[in-house]
Amino acid sequence: MAQEIERKFLVTSEDWRAQVRTSARYRQGYLANEGRCSVRVRVSGSDAYLNIKSATLDIVRTEYEYSIPLADAEEMLEHLCSGLLVEKTRHFVDYGGFVWEIDVFEGVNQGLVIAEIELDHEHAEFPRPPWAGAEVSDDPRYYNVYLARTPYTRW
């Protein structure tokens, strides 16, 4: 079974920007987001993915991801997604031997910046960067599936 072990933190400063290794822009939408899982389509450049993730509020979740044709993904984003599209730029930052993903949201979620770290196991220890503020791993408002229904600018 595929698992994602991820912790999320609000970003408190711009200090991480000097450490960005690479960045990618994402557009994503949800084909289904009720019940036991969410089904998401995501486009980044010329790459496209279909993602199925368990709808549990926990740092450990079941997740499957598959490459799909870009044209199919674009059509799904335009015609099949419920809610709003989530648009963001993800910046990859190396810190303390880990890769941090800093999501800078755009559009209706503009102003929100979240740092995420994926871990090998639930109780893994990691150094916390000075720009990683309050942990929001257990707050459903900071999950992308929630942001597609209730954007940050409307909170």
Look at residues 15, 14, 11, 40 and name the one whose alpha carbon lies nearest to residue 28.
40
Question: C-alpha distances in angstroms, 34 versus 20, 47, 108, 127, 153?
Answer: 35, 26, 21, 35, 23
Residue 143 annotated to the active site: no
Q: Which of 30, 95, 142, 143 is catalytic?
A: 30
The catalytic site residues sit at 30
